[in-house]
Amino acid sequence: MKVLFAKRVWLGLGLGLLLSWVVTGSLVNGQGSVAKEVSAEVVALGKPKVETKVETKVETKAEAAKPESSMDAAERLKLLPENRPVVVQVGLYVSNLAEINQSSETFDVAGYLFYTWRDGRLAYNAKQMGTNARSVKLEDIWHPSVEMVNFKESKASDTTVTVAPDGTITAQERFSKTLSSGLDLRRFPFDQEHLQVVIESLLYPLSDLRFTTDKGKLAIGKDSFVSLSEWTIQGIQGKDGKSFFPPEQQDYSRVTMDVTIQRNSGFYLFKVMMPLFLITIASWSVFWIDAKEFSTQITIAFTNLLTVVALLLVVNDSLPRVGYLTFMDGFTMLCFAAILAVIMELIWAHRWESRDDHDQAQRIHVMARWIVPSGFLLTFLGLWGMMIGV
């Protein structure tokens, strides 16, 4: 019985182990299928996301590549052309000469500045483009960075740029500036002045850039408001040159536009010089007054002297303030000297008159009638010949 019971126990244990193995295997297989399904769903859900990300990255790179490529091309157009030195032709049209300040040696000018050069990179087919003058922006291409180096104040500026089919670029700059220019006033008021407009590029030395004068584009407007009442514009011309820049030890190309003007001297001749001359002549009238009338003579002389001083004070603002002698200064000093000579002659003659030598005093008067005017005339001619010339 015990043996039979033991066999039954072992048989039950074996069946239990077999049953548990079967159940465990089925559960494991079930969990594996579930895991596979879950992983499949994860993969299925993840794949579109990965593909979307890849596609997005590819599109972004493609979109970014186009602007980068075009920007590189645009940047290359801003570089200095390979054919050097680049020759730039410069022209100037003066549309208005507003004011000339003689004290500060400046002048206000408005007009158009033209500069032309060639850049083969901008050449195009006129038939395909449908135009022979394509407009571009100056900041989008290489340009010579033209400057008026003697400007004191810039009031307005506007530039338009056109490109011809062969790559010839023409820039037209409308400007209004106050420029400084040295004046030679030694012959004032019969002087001729040269107002200079100095064109230069401070970025490119002579080895890279060379300016030349475009004589076909040098002109001055014919409108009545171009000239000033005091001046007559006689012409304009350009001169090619160069300037040395010590900090860089390099030469820079430049073009100097020279506007020649002639002063209309009528104002100074009739309102300053002629009154001075007449007052001086009036002071000589004392030579025909009897030497006994000293008080009358000296009163006339000093009155004329004070009149000259008052006249100069009135016109002083219109006279240039320079550190050298002008013709007007010389003439003014001559008039003062002539009146001073009259006063000295009166004092000398009065000394003889006070000694009761009336005849000697009268003889001095008679000699002065010729000596003082002759001395004045000879000195004036010498001054004219020395400062004005024939």
Lowest mean pLDDT among 76-85, 157-166, 261-270: 76-85
Task: Kindly report, residue by residue over 159-174, the tens digit of the pLDDT.
Answer: 999 999 999 999 999 9
Q: Is the pLDDT of residue 140 over 80?
A: yes
Same domain, 133 and 210: yes
Domain boundary among 77, 108, 142: 77
37-46 average pLDDT score: 38
CA distance 147 to 323: 31
171 and 108, same structural domain? yes
Q: Could you tell me if 296 and 234 lie in one domain?
A: no
In this structure, what is the dihedral angle of CA atoms 292, 293, 295, 299, given to the nearest 10 degrees?
Answer: -140
Q: Is 238 exposed, middle or buried (0-12, 13-18, 19+ CB in 10 A)?
A: buried
Whether 62 and 20 map to the same domain: the answer is: yes
147 and 256 share one domain: yes
pLDDT digits (tens, 9 = 90+) for 180-226: 998 998 999 999 999 999 999 989 999 999 999 999 999 998 876 67
Domain that holds residue 117: 86-264
* 142 and 223 co-located in one domain: yes
Q: How many domains does the chain have?
A: 3
- Kindly state whether residues 208 and 272 are assigned to the same domain: no
Assign residue 185 the CATH number of its domain. Answer: 2.70.170.10
Name the band, by pLDDT with cuts 50, 70 and 90, for residue 63. Answer: very low
- Flag whether pLDDT at 59 surpasses 60: no
Residues 244 and 97 occupy one common structural domain: yes
- Distance, in Å, from the CA atom of 193 to the CA atom of 231, rounded to the nearest integer, reads 10
Same domain assignment for residues 37 and 146: no
Give strand pairing partners of 232.
Answer: 262
Higher pLDDT residue, 16 or 196?
A: 196
Q: What is the mean pLDDT of residues 23-35?
A: 43
Please indicate, yes or no, whether residues 122 and 214 belong to a single structural domain of this protein: yes
Give yes or no: residues 91 and 193 share one domain: yes
Q: Report the 10 Å Cβ neighbour count for 97.
A: 22
In this structure, are 256 and 311 located in the same domain?
no
pLDDT at 40 > cutoff 80? no
Quick one: average pLDDT of 2-25? 47
Per-residue burial over 328-367, b if 16 or more Cβ lie within 10 Å, else e, is bbbbbebbbebbebbbebbeebbebbeeeeeeebbebbee
